[in-house]
Structure 1
Amino acid sequence: MRSLRKIGLAGLIAFVAMGAAIRGTVAEGAQDGAGAANYSALVPRLVGDYAVPAARDLEARLGVLRDRIADLCQAPGTGTAADAAARAFDAAFAETVAAHGRLFVLRFGALAEDTRLERLAFVPDRRGVVRRQVTRLLADPDPAATDAASLRDKSVALQGLSALEWIAYDADGSVVLEDNDAGRAFRCAYAGAIAARMVGLAGEVAEAYRAPAGQTAMLLAPGPGNALAQDPHAAAGFVFQQIVTSISLLSDQVLAPVLEEGPPAARAARAPFARSHHALLHLRASLRGIGTALRTAGFAKMDADADWIGDTLAFETNNAVAALEVLPSDLASVLADPEQRASLAYVALVLDGLERTVGGELAGHLGFQGGFNALDGD
């Protein structure tokens, strides 16, 4: 089983420079037989038509979430108004979790730099880093955590949606951010700082994709002097492999640990956003994001012989999403029910199949070198 390893831009560039990056002979069946020129539109389409809108959507959802936090924290601790504010907050949090799922599957360019992926949400978190760090912060409140600017200098595990979930929800999925106790003032100020920080960060990601610099710029302007991508084929292969890595992450680090033996509640807690009962929502959004990103870029359309792969991807993804949609939101209850757990196991099989089909067969049709996975290692 793979575990997440953070790989910086310099490490990736070095990997490419050593000849182990995603390159290879262009597939003979590529449309028009025009070689690398056929690949020049893939990355621009993926960035302009998917990454930028997805980041803007997350920014907008986070703006609503920030407002719902303010409403919730201004409401009385109990009563009709508090209940309504809690429901509104939960709805906004759910929409934000889904927007995050659609974006984070890209894992390249603006998202991969400056620990933006981890700052938006520290997922997956098998070792419980968020729980430990947030618990310590609540036990010994630091005023710096209540300011969005100074929060940026703290651990990435204290900054994103994962941290907000931990302070806003109880273990049973109920909203407790507004609970009228001694810690309410700090929790609310901290939650507001997290939301404000994330609004700015999502806007930063969107702008970095729209007016590219760093890794995004290198992928959009491949050439002989470009250490990351010397031609459009290499650039397309790089971003393709990051999406394949997302399939591996969902399979190996999200679903596989949940489906292991053990008490249902303990296994459910391993999944991102299980505390708020939005784990399956995030998984559905991520699956849709993978399918939409690959379709938007047009990878399966590059080779007539690979066109069936695009159809298979859509079919299998839709089936997996449909299987998830009928399950209750409480992941622990899903795991406790043999029939429902079987549905989740089916989704895991779909992910395994997609990893082989996309990362194996489609990569072969496109002439992308396989074998590199950012999740490999320790």
Structure 2
Amino acid sequence: MRLLPSLLISLSLAFAPLAAHAEEETASPPAALDEKTVEAIMARAVDEVIRPGYRDFHASAGRLTAAMNTLCGEASAPAFDAARGAFTDTIKAWSRIEIVRVGPVIEKNRFERILFYPDRKSTGLKQVQATLASGDEKDTDVDYVATKSVAIQGLGALEYILHGTGAETLTQEKSGFRCRYGAAVAGNIESIAAGLVDIWEKPDGIQAAWKHPGPDNPEFRTGGEAITALLGILVHGVETVRDQRLEIFYKGTQPKPRTAIYWRSGNTFVSITANLEGLKTLFDTSGISDLLPAEKKSVAGEIDTLLDGLLAAAPTIDADVAKSVETPAERQKIELLLAETRDLILRLNDDLGGALGLTAGFSFSDGD
């Protein structure tokens, strides 16, 4: 515990230069975006971040399916631990790429089929419990699971199967219904991931549209539209961390730890950390800051400093969300994340977007 004050002080000092959002200086209108630079940025975003992100998610989901099938066949404690470990790895892989909430992943309910959250009315929980209670053999078939409610065919459903009430039966009965339903859910997630990889890997498909804006392009008619979309991923990604990952359980005077994502498996801050990793990777690797004029280059360093500070803080918070909201020292760290994600949104939206001329009449924060 002696290290905790030092950690908080260190993090506070790291964020201190950025705490006060300086008033914007009067400046001449930004120059038009260089189209070749835009194409290079979009190519890096697609080829070095988005496509590898979906490939990693697909590979991880494949290992999860294999681990679930092994668990069903063995019903052993080691196989159970391995399945839970594979589940955590898949959460990490998904959380890094889930920041991309545009394009094919939001078509055909793919995103919700992978992750139905937030679930404010506990729809998923009730439906998963009903499925387990029914024991309907059709629910052990991957193709059939894919036709059912989005609330019971993704990561939320599998978390309950592996970590919810009755999960211990997975080590007591070989080829039990609960396990086979879980294997079908894992297989469904793998199938959706495979579909996303296929779509993004087609050279004349979505990747080409993202990399080459133009008047006949179905996605982006100009470089400005493409960069606006890329910046929107960053801004909305941070907003999601703040609004749907942190404030959803930690807002007001009465925290609600059981509304946190992945609280049963202790993966709340694992997921948040991976979200932040995905955001930093996209920001740094795409090179979107290359578009900044010389007098605004410091904006990129400020954004990176904020991201680095958040990435240093998030993994140190107690994995047990209930304990994290009850412990003053842990609450301080959560409050720090909330404060700095708000600042990061301003840096991205106002400072970076403003310097690129993308915020006039457009507010990423409002989702317009």
The structure whose RCO (Cα within 8 Å, separation 6+) is larger is: 1
Q: 1:248 to 1:219 in 2, by over 3 A?
A: same
Q: Residue 224 of structure 1 is aligned with which of 195, 207, 215?
A: 215
Tell me if structure 1 keeps the 8 A contact 2:236–2:365: yes
Q: Which amino acid aligns with 1:200?
A: S
Q: Which residue of 1 aligns with 2:69?
A: 70
Letter in 2 for 1:290: L
1:118 matches 2:112: yes
Which residue in the other structure is 1:308 paired with? 298
The whole-number CA distance in structure 2 between the counterparts of 1:269 and 1:216 is: 39
What amino acid is aligned across from residue 84 of structure 1 in structure 2? P
Give the Å deviation of 1:374. 7.7
What residue in structure 1 maps to residue 14 of structure 2?
none
Question: 2:334 aligned to 325, 328, 344, which one?
Answer: 344
Structure 2 partner of 1:45: 44
Q: Quick one: distance in 1 between partners of 2:169 and 2:283?
A: 38
- The alignment's TM-score, normalised by the length of structure 1, stands at 0.82
Match of 2:250 in 1: 259
State yes or no: 1:196 paired with 2:187: yes
- Verify the 8 A CA contact 1:219 1:229 in the aligned structure 2: yes
Alpha-carbon separation, structure 2, partners of 1:177 and 1:242: 41
Instruction: Tell me the equivalent position of 2:161.
Output: 167
Tell me if structure 1 keeps the 8 A contact 2:44–2:286.
Answer: yes
Q: CA deviation at 1:146?
A: 1.4
Give the match for residue 127 of structure 2: 133
1:246 aligned to 2:245?
no
The answer as to whether partners of 1:169 and 1:177 remain within 8 angstroms in 2 is: no
Residue 237 of structure 1 is matched in structure 2 by 228
Match of 2:4 in 1: none
Aligned partners of 1:269, 1:94: CA distance in 2, in Å?
18
In 2: Cα distance, 1:220 partner to 1:125 partner: 35
Deviations for 1:260-317, whole angstroms, at most 9, x for unmatched residues? 24665xx122121111111110000001111111211111221133432222222222
The answer to whether structure 1 residue 271 and structure 2 residue 260 are counterparts is: yes
Does the aligned pair in 2 maintain the 1:334–1:341 contact within 8 Å? yes
- Given residue 330 of structure 2, which amino acid in structure 1 is its aligned partner? Q
- Could you tell me how far apart the structure 2 residues matched to 1:165 and 1:374 are? 32
Classify 1:274/1:268 alpha carbon distance in 2 versus 1 (closer, same or farther; 3 Å): same
| Mapped pair 1:280 → 2:274 | no
Instruction: Give the drift of 1:178.
Output: 0.6
> What's the secondary structure of 2:170's corresponding residue?
coil
Give 1:331's aligned residue.
321
- 1:88 equivalent to 2:117? Answer no
Match of 1:296 among 275, 285, 296: 285
Match of 1:180 among 172, 175, 198: 172
Aligned residues: 338
Output the CA distance in 2 between the equivalents of 1:374 and 1:110: 23
Amino acid paired to 1:296: T
1:57 aligned partner: 56
Task: For 1:324 and 1:133, locate their aligned partners in 2 and report how far apart those are by CA, in whole Å.
Answer: 32
C-alpha offsets along residues 153-198 of structure 1, whole Å, 9 cap, x if unaligned?
A: 1111111111100111136xx95361537x9722111111111111
Q: Secondary structure of the equivalent of 1:61?
A: helix
Alpha-carbon distance, 1:323 to partner: 1.5
1:365 paired with 2:344, answer no
Task: For structure 1, list consecutive stretches of 5 or more residues without a partner in the other structure.
Answer: 1-26, 77-81
Q: Cα distance 1:227–1:110, how it changes in 2: closer, same or farther (>3 A)? A: closer
Once the two structures are superposed, what CA deviation does each residue of 1:80-101 show, in whole Å capped at 9, x if it has no partner? xx22222222221111111111
Structure-2-length-normalised TM-score? 0.84
Please give the secondary structure, in 2, of the residue aligned with 1:368: coil
- Using the aligned pairs only, state the percent identity: 27
Shift of 1:28: 5.3
Gaps (5+ residues) in structure 2? 1-27
Aligned equivalents of 2:135 and 2:208: distance in 1? 40
Q: How far apart, CA to CA, are the structure 2 residues paired with 1:117 and 1:344?
A: 27
1:103 aligned partner: 97
Structure 1 match to 2:346: 356
Secondary structure in structure 1 of the residue aligned to 2:168? coil
Letter in structure 1 aligned against 2:153:
Q
Residues 252/342 of structure 1: CA separation in 2 closer, same or farther (3 Å cut): same
The answer on whether the counterparts of 2:112 and 2:150 sit within 8 Å (CA) in structure 1 is: yes
Kindly state the Cα deviation for residue 131 of structure 1 after the two structures are TM-superposed: 0.9
CA root-mean-square deviation: 2.5
